[in-house]
Chains A and B, each alone.
Chain A
């Protein structure tokens, strides 16, 4: 199997340009972030932050300072509200399972939407086996949650609601403030969690102003190292640990803190927020160039998700009709353009992306979808290269489809 991958890689030799747009699934770490992290592996603060020696105290100091910086970006009341976890998946598991455990005996109902990230969707399957029941709120054709449905389902039994602020696949910005009000009006005891991994560093997000209970953020979505995320827990909320072990500076996640990753996430946050407007305008401009260019150059395409202010600035998700997505990702890869697809084939599940299905896309539209995200480090040259490659790739794959199946 590894031999096959070696051959696949060999087929990529001689690329004149490469553009990585699959920020949804992993990201490169810019040199300045990596350089900030490196000393923490072996020069400084490499000790365990709970122990009584210099490298330990150095680590303690660094972790506290990092927590404070991230607390400032989120506008938390205190750094105590910032809980590092090994990433988005873990923070979401902690938020949902940890809340349900702490609410045992107070209710059985959990509410999410039909378009949550896979980790949230999967956790509810686990919660079911623990006796909790999940209701999934439907969305409209732009992916916006139906608030009237939310209102209908919140009751005394509802212990937790989890709705992502920005949809990870189609960039829909949800009316979280309104959703939060509906939930708290109906049941003030209900805990409200949001996965803000695609929100943090992309659109303004202020936990204090929003007065939200729990929020997940993730390092890799802002070009930080993967393997590190944060669960914000508002003071006074009780989330139980879901793993046990040696407890250090992080009350909710046992084990030795990964100081270099925490430093990397903090550095990435600093760079994202330092010129927030400039960065997000840059993402938006390149994203618009990408979408407009594709619509101009390629017939039979559809934008998935909303346009304008309802869409996060970095997200482009487009369906190419008569063009199977996995084949397209491979063709694009061979030409140095790296994207992902909501196709059943590339996802290795028989069903296509649940998000695209939830917004009413036909299966064959979902199978031909491509997800791309722009970042502050992408250049106009990158986007122009992608726009040169994508039309040719789509044309070739459509040539293989020929007259098969799709009207």
Chain B
């Protein structure tokens, strides 16, 4: 067990507002691409739905989230931030932008913003993978957010294996 403090989570009004009235919530039936990040066993999982037109502009974005208030708020804000963006513009969104956009997150909740951006980047990659094209701006290497999402998912696997083994 670690020594993390349990000071009350000081969610700011923007996070609270997005938690209470999330924008772009729900499954999108006509999504061009869907991406998932996180794992329910970590208590954090996001699904992103993007509707992308022929000009590679995100016409619609929506989300579903199994997660805490920060997870819900950051997922929601990402869908707001990228609406109308080209995929190249959307790719430039970082977890820091997301955190700023929701007015800052408590330190222990940074990973929620990272996961939201990880899911977005995964969705964009999936889109191009499927088209079998690779635009010059799309790095081959995973970005920080994608790596973090993978790490969190890997950790979830390790933890549940450990649990099953009765350790």
Is residue B165 within 8 Å, beta carbon to beta carbon, of the partner chain?
Answer: no
Give the distance in Å from the alpha carbon of A406 to the alpha carbon of B43 in the complex: 11
Is residue A69 within 8 Å, beta carbon to beta carbon, of the partner chain?
Answer: no
Give the distance in Å from the alpha carbon of A122 to the alpha carbon of B3 in the complex: 9
B68 touches A326 (CB 8 A): yes
A8-B10 contact, Cβ under 8 Å, with A348-B4, A354-B1, A404-B65: yes
Is residue A345 within 8 Å, beta carbon to beta carbon, of the partner chain?
Answer: yes
Chain B residues with Cβ below 8 Å from A349 are 1-2, 4
Tally of contact residues, B, Cβ under 8 A: 45
B40 touches A406 (CB 8 A): yes
Chain A residues with Cβ below 8 Å from B36 are 404-405
B13 touches A4 (CB 8 A): yes
B156 touches A327 (CB 8 A): no
Docked complex: B56-84 residues within 8 A CB-CB of A: 64-72
A352 touches B12 (CB 8 A): no
A404-B45 contact, Cβ under 8 Å, with A4-B13, A348-B108: yes
Chain B residues with Cβ below 8 Å from A405 are 36, 38-40, 45, 47, 66
A122-B66 contact, Cβ under 8 Å, with A350-B42, A367-B43: no
- Could you say which of A59-67, A102-110, A184-192, A356-364 contacts chain B? A356-364
- In chain A, what residue has the closest Cβ to B163? A357
Select one of B1, B13, B65 contacting A401, CB under 8 A: B65
* Nearest CB on B from A379, distance (A): 27
Is residue A138 within 8 Å, beta carbon to beta carbon, of the partner chain?
Answer: yes
Kindly name the residue among A349, A364, A400 whose own CB sees the greatest number of chain B CB atoms within 10 A: A400
Mask for B1-25, Cβ within 8 A of A = 1, else 0? Answer: 1101110111111001001101001
Chain A residues with Cβ below 8 Å from B13 are 4, 7, 11
Kindly name the residue among A1, A138, A324, A399 whose own CB sees the greatest number of chain B CB atoms within 10 A: A324
Chain A residues with Cβ below 8 Å from B2 are 349
B160 touches A327 (CB 8 A): no
Docked complex: B20-62 residues within 8 A CB-CB of A: 20, 22, 25-27, 36, 38-47
A327-B12 contact, Cβ under 8 Å, with A122-B1, A405-B36: no
- In chain B, what residue has the closest Cβ to A326? B68
7 A-B pairs with CB atoms under 8 Å apart are: A8-B16, A118-B1, A138-B166, A349-B4, A404-B45, A404-B64, A405-B45
Binding site for B on A (CB under 8 A): 1-5, 7-8, 11, 118, 121-122, 125, 138, 322, 324-327, 330, 334, 343-352, 354, 357, 362-364, 367, 399-406
Please give 5 more A-B residue pairs, beta carbons under 8 A apart, in addition to A11-B16, A324-B68, A363-B40. Answer: A324-B67, A327-B67, A344-B43, A350-B42, A403-B47
